[in-house]
């Protein structure tokens, strides 16, 4: 009973932290998208106008919620510091902290099921967790050093090199962790780069500008330029990270033999689509970018589609199928799971009665036979012969 209550408590903790992560993530991404849109949309004031004399580099008019707004951006800073200055930082910090907490709750506290796939690498729990944590640290250090190098001055080449390095990280992780854990750690690595930009460069740069104004000095424009560069990086990172956040629902991607390549293609599609919107905000519409992004997604969908399997001459009877599922699957997928760490059946899928097994026949075939995504990390040790039996039963009509 104590084990069940503990699992139930962890389930609630998972829910609350995941909800918090979603809320603060929306706040961060919403603010980020808005300011990138604002930066791309503002137009310079007329030469000799009052705004130009005040040092305003751009403005725009907008209507929203029944009100009119007139945001203005200064080339460096206003002549006097306003009495109230709004900062945007806690959205980023809260997103990373809640995301890391979720990583600990879901993955690190249950590494044997969520991170380790013995068919990939036979690791101890501490080794899998260590690889995950090292990825976050090394990812940030390499990214930050590249930003500060000469390469960081060339946006296109920097973007290409970073994309290659991120894909290399995905390949490395896929050789040691389960596909699901590899994906989520690529996302956590990128998310760490994003929040590192805010914590280590954007906010400190803004503080230096404010401190200079308080001291009666003219702020150095370099701080704003560096902050904008990192903000633009975060803008392009966002769609790949958002995909990775939901990728754990789609085993067809993370459990593919070339999962790292699938991830690379989907991330590239996200970057292309995001670039279309950035250009559009500047007044330039180029449909080639979203078209290329959609084409990549369609190509991935075709490439990873399940292949038809020829009917087996021997069809497993339902008794055999029920015994396999009872031994290998129903420990988690039951009204009262017996597998430690599970208080409820994952995704609400029950496989503990003949009716529920038949009802989920297609799901069983896709997840356990075609994708080999279930059981998670093959924690129950299902064999290839047992998967083949499940497959023959489904192809034979799932009777």
| Length of the chain, in residues | 399
Is 67 a domain residue?
no
92 and 201 belong to one structural domain: yes
Q: Are 332 and 345 a contacting pair, CB within 8 Å? A: yes
Is 71 a domain residue?
no
DSSP string, 343-387: SS-GGG---SSHHHHHHTHHHHIIIIIIS---SGGGTT---HHHH
Q: Is the dihedral angle over the CA atoms 228, 229, 234, 236 positive or is it negative? A: positive
Per-residue confidence (pLDDT) for residue 162, from 0 to 100: 97
Last residue of a domain, one of 275, 303, 331: 303
Q: Are 335 and 352 a contacting pair, CB within 8 Å? A: yes
Is 48 a domain residue?
no
> What are the start-end ranges of the H helices in the chain?
2-41, 50-53, 90-106, 111-114, 125-148, 155-174, 179-197, 203-214, 221-247, 251-254, 259-281, 288-303, 318-328, 354-359, 361-364, 384-395
236 and 346 belong to one structural domain: no
Is 261 a domain residue?
yes
Q: How far is it, in rounded angstroms, from Cα 84 to Cα 87?
A: 10
Q: Is the dihedral angle over the CA atoms 330, 19, 232, 239 positive or is it negative? A: positive
Is 322 a domain residue?
yes
Last residue of a domain, one of 280, 303, 326: 303
357 and 238 belong to one structural domain: no
- The pLDDT profile of the chain, 399 residues, written as one tens digit per residue, is 556 677 788 888 989 999 999 999 999 999 999 998 998 899 998 888 888 888 888 999 999 988 999 998 987 888 888 888 888 899 999 999 999 999 999 999 989 888 998 889 999 999 999 999 999 999 999 999 999 999 999 999 999 999 999 999 999 999 999 999 999 999 999 999 999 999 999 999 989 988 888 888 888 888 888 888 999 999 999 999 999 999 988 989 998 999 999 999 999 999 999 999 999 988 899 999 999 999 999 999 999 988 776 666 688 888 888 889 888 888 889 888 887 777 778 778 888 888 888 888 888 888 888 888 888 778 888 888 888 888 888 888 877
Is 16 a domain residue?
yes
Is 383 a domain residue?
yes
Q: What is the pTM of this model?
A: 0.86
HEC sequence for 222-268: HHHHHHHHHHHHHHHHHHHHHHHHHHCCCHHHHCCCCHHHHHHHHHH
Last residue of a domain, one of 303, 331, 354: 303
> What end-to-end distance do the CA atoms of the chain give, in Å?
37
Our count of domains for the chain comes to 2
Q: How far is it, in rounded angstroms, from Cα 194 to Cα 277?
A: 20
200 and 338 belong to one structural domain: no
290 and 349 belong to one structural domain: no
114 and 203 belong to one structural domain: yes
103-126 in b/e burial notation, b at 16+ Cβ within 10 A?
Answer: bebbbbebbbbbbbbeebeebeee
Phi then psi dihedrals of residue 191, to 5 deg: -60, -35
Per-residue confidence (pLDDT) for residue 311, from 0 to 100: 62
287 and 173 belong to one structural domain: yes
Helix 318-328 × helix 384-395 angle, to 10°: 130
235 and 141 belong to one structural domain: yes
Q: Are 368 and 351 a contacting pair, CB within 8 Å? A: no
DSSP 329: T
Q: Minimal CA–CA distance to 321: which of 332, 311, 308, 330?
A: 330
275 and 326 belong to one structural domain: no
244 and 381 belong to one structural domain: no
CB atoms within 10 A of CB 267: 25
Burial class (CB in 10 A: 0-12, 13-18, 19+), 9: exposed
Domain membership of residue 80 as a residue range: 2-41+76-303
Per-residue confidence (pLDDT) for residue 1, from 0 to 100: 53
Residue 198 CB partners (closer than 8 Å, separation 6+) = 89, 92, 93, 230, 234
Per-residue confidence (pLDDT) for residue 362, from 0 to 100: 86
Is 70 a domain residue?
no
287 and 372 belong to one structural domain: no
Kindly state the tokens that stand for 222.
Answer: 């370099």
232 and 323 belong to one structural domain: no
Per-residue confidence (pLDDT) for residue 396, from 0 to 100: 81
Distances (CA, A) of 272 to 9, 26, 238, 279, 287: 41, 21, 12, 11, 10
Distances (CA, A) of 354 to 323, 359, 361, 374: 11, 9, 11, 19
């Amino acid at each position: 009973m104590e084990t069940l209550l503990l699992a139930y408590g962890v389930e609630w903790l998972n829910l609350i932290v995941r909800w918090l992560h979603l809320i603060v993530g929306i706040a961060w991404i919403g603010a980020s998208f808005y300011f990138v849109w604002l930066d791309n949309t503002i137009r310079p004031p007329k030469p000799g106008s009052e705004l130009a004399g005040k040092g305003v580099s751009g403005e725009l008019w907008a209507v929203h919620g029944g009100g009119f707004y007139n945001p203005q951006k200064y080339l460096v800073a206003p002549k006097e510091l306003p009495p109230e200055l709004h900062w945007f930082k806690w959205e980023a910090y809260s997103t990373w902290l809640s995301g890391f907490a979720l990583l600990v709750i879901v993955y690190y506290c249950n590494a044997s099921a969520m991170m380790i796939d013995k068919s990939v690498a036979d690791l101890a729990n501490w080794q899998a967790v260590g690889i995950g944590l090292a990825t976050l640290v090394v990812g940030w250090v390499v990214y930050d050093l590249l930003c500060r190098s000469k390469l960081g001055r060339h946006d296109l080449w920097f973007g290409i090199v970073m994309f290659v390095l991120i894909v290399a990280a995905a390949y490395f992780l896929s050789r040691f962790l389960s596909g699901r854990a590899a994906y989520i750690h690529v996302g956590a690595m990128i998310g760490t780069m994003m929040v590192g930009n805010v914590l280590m460069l954007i906010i400190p740069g803004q503080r230096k500008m404010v401190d200079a104004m308080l001291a009666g000095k003219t702020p150095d424009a370099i701080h704003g330029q560096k902050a904008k560069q990192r903000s633009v990086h975060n803008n392009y990172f966002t769609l790949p990270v958002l995909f990775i956040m939901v990728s754990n629902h789609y085993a067809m991607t993370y459990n593919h033999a070339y999962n790292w390549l699938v991830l690379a293609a989907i991330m590239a599609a996200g970057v292309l689509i995001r670039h279309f919107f950035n250009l559009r905000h500047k007044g330039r519409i180029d449909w080639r970018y979203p078209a290329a992004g959609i084409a990549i997604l369609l190509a991935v969908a075709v490439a990873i589609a399940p292949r038809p399997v020829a009917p087996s001459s021997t069809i497993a009877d339902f008794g055999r199928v029920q015994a396999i599922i009872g031994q290998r699957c129903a420990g988690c997928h039951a009204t009262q799971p017996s597998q430690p760490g599970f208080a409820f059946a994952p995704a609400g899928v029950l496989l503990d009665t003949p009716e529920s097994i038949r009802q989920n026949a297609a799901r069983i075939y896709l997840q356990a036979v075609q994708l080999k995504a279930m059981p998670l990390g093959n924690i129950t040790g299902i064999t290839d012969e047992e998967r083949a039996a499940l497959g023959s039963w489904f192809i034979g009509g799932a009777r």
